[in-house]
Structure 1
Amino acid sequence: MVYSTFLAASIPLTNEWTPLVAIVMIVCNIIAIAIGKSTMSKPEAGKALPMPEMFGGMGFASLLATTSFGHIIGIATLVLLSSYGLI
């Protein structure tokens, strides 16, 4: 029990949600989608998105994968920016 209290005390608190946090997360997701579009060679055989011209032939699974990657990048970016005191 002492260990769990010590572990919770050592984790730094993060900032609350602000519009700047949302902007950082949106930019990170756009970067991840751009990386996904440039590295995926062929469209997948799965379910297509409603506007294929907007996403460059990406399917639903590809969009889900790239936005998941974008959230991972976004979380790392937000932790880094908050640790430097920029957010």
Structure 2
Amino acid sequence: MVLSLLATMPTTVEWTPMVGVVMIVCNVAAIAIGKFKIDQPSAGPTLPMSNMFGGMGFPALLATTSFGHVLGIGVILGLANMGII
């Protein structure tokens, strides 16, 4: 049963510079979305160069980059299944 389940799993995408660019774009988009959608983005411990991230605090940056990675995984797998990357 386990072997049949593993046989149905899709293969993963090998890392290329294009995959890295897609992940960076997804993280920047997630930070931009989070900056405007989080109620108190500057709450919590501050970052050393918070103006680089729009004045966001550490919890907001951690949340947005986590969302960016989840978004990036979906975009990368979707583009790979379409044959674009």
TM-score for both structures, normalised by structure 1: 0.91
Matched, 1:73 2:58: no
List gaps (5 residues or longer) in structure 2.
Answer: none
Q: Which has the larger radius of gyration?
A: 1
Contact 1:14 1:82 in 2 (8 A): no
Matched, 1:15 2:6: no
Aligned-residue CA RMSD (Å): 0.9
Cα deviation 1:3-50 (Å, max 9, x = unaligned): 110111000102210000000000000000000011123321x21001
Contact 1:31 1:70 in 2 (8 A): yes
Contact 2:13 2:77 in 1 (8 A): no
Structure with greater proportional helix content: 2
| In 2, Cα distance between equivalents of 1:63 and 1:24 | 19
Contact 1:29 1:74 in 2 (8 A): yes
TM superposition shift of 1:73: 0.4
TM superposition shift of 1:80: 0.4
Give the share of equivalent positions with the same residue, in percent: 55
SS at match of 1:53: helix
| In 2, Cα distance between equivalents of 1:52 and 1:18 | 30
Match of residue 29 from structure 1: 27
List gaps (5 residues or longer) in structure 1.
Answer: none
